[in-house]
Amino acid sequence: MHFSQIIGQEHSKEYLLKLIHENRVPHAFLLAGPEGNGKLALAIAFAQYMACHNPAANDVCGVCPACVKYQKLEHPDLHFVYPVVTSSSIKKPVSRDYFPQWKAYLTESAYVSVQTWMQHLGSENKQPMIYAHESEAILKMLSMKPYESEYQVMIIYLPERMNIACSNKLLKLVEEPPQKTVFILVTENADQILATILSRCQIINVPKIATEVLTATLQKQFGIAEGEAQSISRISNGNYTRALDMINSNQDNAFYLDQFITLMRLAYKRDIHPLKKWSDEMHAIGRERQKNFLQYTLRLLRENFIMNLNTENLNYLTVDEQNFSVKFSRFINERNIMQLFEEIEKAQRHIEQNVYGKMVFFDLSLQVILLLKS
């Protein structure tokens, strides 16, 4: 991964390169920021730069043996840990069990998300985790000295999904790291990581991709008209992964909008039996899509609330979303917006905790009935 291949993030690139040039590479640091902003790509580019035999001032050479191996994700001193799922054949999975799939997935794009990773595995209905026994695999991977480079690098993608037992063992490794080892944690929810681990990492906040940078990138990569590229960039809110999803397919967003409209119309009419049927249907779509729908709902509620302010440049709605929101937005106001947010966020937590989906969505629909009348 070349630094030049990463979209925007010039400040983060400069800072990471400065750490290397000034010989101040910490033994553990954390790249924190929203989904789709290139954090994992930065981590890989940083590791490759440290291994490169002939680096330039601001990027790798791309042709030395180390760079060739990094581009294939086959360098012996590069290690990955990432969320995985159980299966009928793998009861106690660790990251290495899925490395061929992970390698193929990252080869397509280093701009990743849990949803697309699960889609790649064909496991959309499962909750990926970093399980307790992963710690033994980490110890085994790091028990040897660096093989070809000065440092070996352990990149941990989404440590917030790490089992608590594994987190405690990782803490000991971060406290007393193996010699010539660098840990790079890549997170979207730093507040869900053990505070003791955070205190031992240098935290580098990576912002979302700037709208103008993402717009220019979409135009260049896909030949999209400027207006359409601007619209996609604004709605995706600096998330390149989401921008790609919008370009490749609008099917999921159309589904989420349809479910949002159904929920709000039935809740306004206080139509309990159809709402129960709606809850059953939402239960059947799988937990990752359930979480995505709830996140979509938060966004649409926010946009409807802002629409009441009559400030067009603050709204991020597609044409279909706007057509519905023109009449619906008056029902979202200062008397109910915060409580609606709280109920959606509570539903998100329950889905994360594997609470029965039918109960979560039916309870949510009952709360929406009460709040829409506020």
Give residue-wise pLDDT tens across range 24-78: 999 899 999 999 999 999 999 999 999 999 999 999 999 999 999 999 999 999 9
Question: How much is the average pLDDT of 350-361?
Answer: 93
- Express as a percent the part of the chain with pLDDT over 90: 60
- Express as a percent the part of the chain with pLDDT over 70: 97
- For the chain, what is the HEC assignment? CCHHHCCCCHHHHHHHHHHHHCCCCCCEEEEECCCCCCHHHHHHHHHHHHHCCCCCCCCCCCCCHHHHHHHCCCCCCEEEECCECCCCCCCCCCHHHHHHHHHHHHHHCCCCCHHHHHHHHCCCCCCCEECCCHHHHHHHHHCCCCCCCCCEEEEEECHHHECHHHHHHHHHHHHCCCCCEEEEEEECCHHHCCHHHHCCCEEEECCCCCHHHHHHHHHHHHCCCHHHHHHHHHHHCCCHHHHHHHHHCCHHHHHHHHHHHHHHHHHHHCCHHHHHHHHHHHHCCCHHHHHHHHHHHHHHHHHHHHHCCCCHHHCCCCHHHHHHHHHHHHHCCCCCHHHHHHHHHHHHHHHHCCCCHHHHHHHHHHHHHHHHCC
Give residue-wise pLDDT tens across range 247-257: 876 567 788 99
pLDDT of the residue at 250: 58
pLDDT of the residue at 71: 93
List, in order of start, the domains of the chain with CATH numbers.
3-205 (3.40.50.300), 250-372 (1.20.272)
